[in-house]
Chain A
Amino acid sequence: QVHLVESGGGVVQPERSLRLSCAASRFTFSICGMHWVRQAPGKGLEWVASMSSDGGSQYYADSVRGRFTVSRDNSKNTVDLQMNSLRAEDTAVYYCAKGRAAFWLTIDHWGQGTLVTVS
């Protein structure tokens, strides 16, 4: 059973930074693409960023490009999201998600999420 646990959420002031981390287990992390998806309070899902299994490819939503950076450590089975210059509109639950092995740019499992409040 895939296990994804996010951490690092909290309350942060506008223009400050925050780093989220996701610990993965119970699957072969090093062969899976990973994703971050967020959900503002009472709103729908919004894709944020994706990273390929080897870290060689990263993709970002227009709303975060240049402010957010995704990274991973395959030796520790972790994927991080560095968030800089935070804005009120970045307030959301941030989910770490696993890409499907057959095609990594689709999501098959989700963590429970961590809440980020920019205020």
Chain B
Amino acid sequence: QSALTQPASVSGSPGQSITISCTGTSSDVGGYNYVSWYQQYPGKAPKLMIYDVSNRPSGVSARFSGSKSGNTASLTISGLQAEDEADYYCSSYTSGNTLVFGGGTKVTVL
């Protein structure tokens, strides 16, 4: 049950686009289309932003999009805004009927 690999931090200026990667294996990210992305502000509960690789829940801004290629999933935030500054976590279903999370990425808006 090794954690998925995410960059520790990503930054961008307002209006720019940034992409956060999430690398796993063929037993998790690469093997299933059950990758989710969560946004978490300090001291708050996580919030679902993307599910099933690329689907947005109702109410989530269209500036957030997800994709996957092989064993790596990605979250792209377009038109970066100050309110996007938060921690982001990916997660995936695994072949062992478990869930695994990434280590988290801190997004900083410059």
Chain A residues in contact with chain B, CB under 8 A?
35, 37, 44-47, 50, 57, 59, 61-62, 95, 100, 103, 105-113
Contact = CB atoms under 8 A, between A and B. Distances in A.
Contacts, number: 64
25 contacts: A37-B101, A44-B89, A44-B103, A47-B91, A47-B98, A47-B101, A50-B99, A57-B97, A59-B97, A61-B98, A100-B51, A103-B52, A103-B93, A105-B97, A105-B99, A106-B34, A106-B36, A106-B51, A106-B52, A106-B93, A106-B99, A108-B57, A110-B45, A111-B45, A112-B45
Given A45-B104, A47-B99, A110-B47, 4 more contacts: A44-B101, A44-B102, A45-B89, A100-B51
Contacts of B100: 47
Interface residues of B, number: 26
Nearest to B34: A106
Contacts of A57: 97
